[in-house]
Homo-oligomer: A and B are copies of this chain.
Amino acid sequence: MTVRIGVIGTGAIGRDHIDRVTRRIRGASVTAVTDLDRALAEKSAGEAKVYPDGAALIASPEVDAVLVACSDAAHAEHVLTAIAAGKPVLCEKPLAVTPEDCLRIMAAEESHGSRLVQVGFMRRYDAGYREMHRVISAGDIGRPLLMHCAHRNRASRPDYTTEMAVLSSGVHEIDAARWLLSDEIVSTQVINPRSTRHRLPHLTDPQFMLFETASGIRIDLEVFVNCRYGYDIRCETVGEEGLLRLPDPARPELRASARIGTAIDQEWDDRFSAAFDAELQAWVDSVPTGRATGPSSWDGYAATAVATATVRAQQSGDVEQVNMRERPAFYA
């Protein structure tokens, strides 16, 4: 069976997903696309049909599964429509921009009776993170106590805002931490170090975020989106019996010009290209089974709840509590 995918949103991420499905993923093809900017949709369509809007695309009998990659604010609407149609959906993060909308999606999914939604936290498909998850879950470092993270980009685009350090960047670590630690974040705080001269004046960069989990694990996260030297993701978990650290990607070692060294990825899509492939493949593979796998609506809700509280913390300068519902048995 070839899964026929409809893609909502053909901006950079959407086009990237279309390209992956077309050239790298097994068992799927893109049969439908739509975008608010119809010309853009047509440009990316290839052999896919262009639909006037998300609702029409989701309703099409030529669409088995829906990939939501439009603007964040429109995610919830399309996901809800897909659930109503009983169609599997891969939604780019965030699942929704408010916790309330995430809860609405959860309620709809629960009414449907089985998981239909996978949220696009692709780090869970990165080989290094996966092995960390395996080692921590196996108990090899004992109970986790601390986690030290960094999320660094070479340079930010002009429209990158201080809030995006949480909503676009840090949210990946928020999800990764929840997943690696099997724990929920209950409070959050943001500290502002001196900013780099290499940022635009409107931006606070770097930022230093602190999270606490329900069981008392403390997580610190440096988000630095103009670090100049490359795209660099660090994650280190300190447990009662040992410490585990995410590896740098394997690159040939060069000894030349009085230095021993390796290249470092410059962009996030280089660093996580294989993870994006694995994420999409896992999604495509899950469609025929009728049961979504990977990051769930609950995970999407938790990430949005923590991110929302963290944006409040950016503004208040205080420790902010994360207000979260209890996890429904449906998502256990």
Contacts and interface: CB of A to CB of B under 8 A. Distances in A.
Interface string A119-132: 00000000110011
Interface of A: 23-27, 127-128, 131-132, 135, 140-143, 145-146, 148, 150, 191, 193-198, 206, 208, 210, 215-218, 220, 222, 224, 227-230, 232, 238, 240-264, 266, 274, 281
B254 A264 contact: no
A193 B252 contact: no
Contacts of A195: 145
A263 B140 CA distance: 13
Given A222-B146, A228-B242, A262-B247, A252 B131 contact: yes
21 contacts: A25-B26, A132-B252, A142-B196, A148-B222, A193-B217, A194-B215, A194-B216, A194-B217, A194-B218, A232-B255, A242-B255, A243-B254, A244-B254, A245-B253, A246-B252, A248-B250, A249-B250, A259-B259, A259-B264, A260-B264, A261-B262
Given A224-B238, A229-B241, A247-B262, 7 more contacts: A140-B254, A146-B206, A232-B243, A242-B255, A242-B256, A248-B250, A258-B264
Contacts of A145: 193-196, 206, 224
A288 to B, nearest CB: 13
Contacts of A193: 145-146, 216-218
A229 B253 CA distance: 13
Contacts of A128: 250-252
A227 B218 contact: no
A251 B247 contact: yes
Nearest to A199: B240
Given A194-B215, A252-B135, A264-B259, A222 B238 contact: yes
Nearest to A213: B194
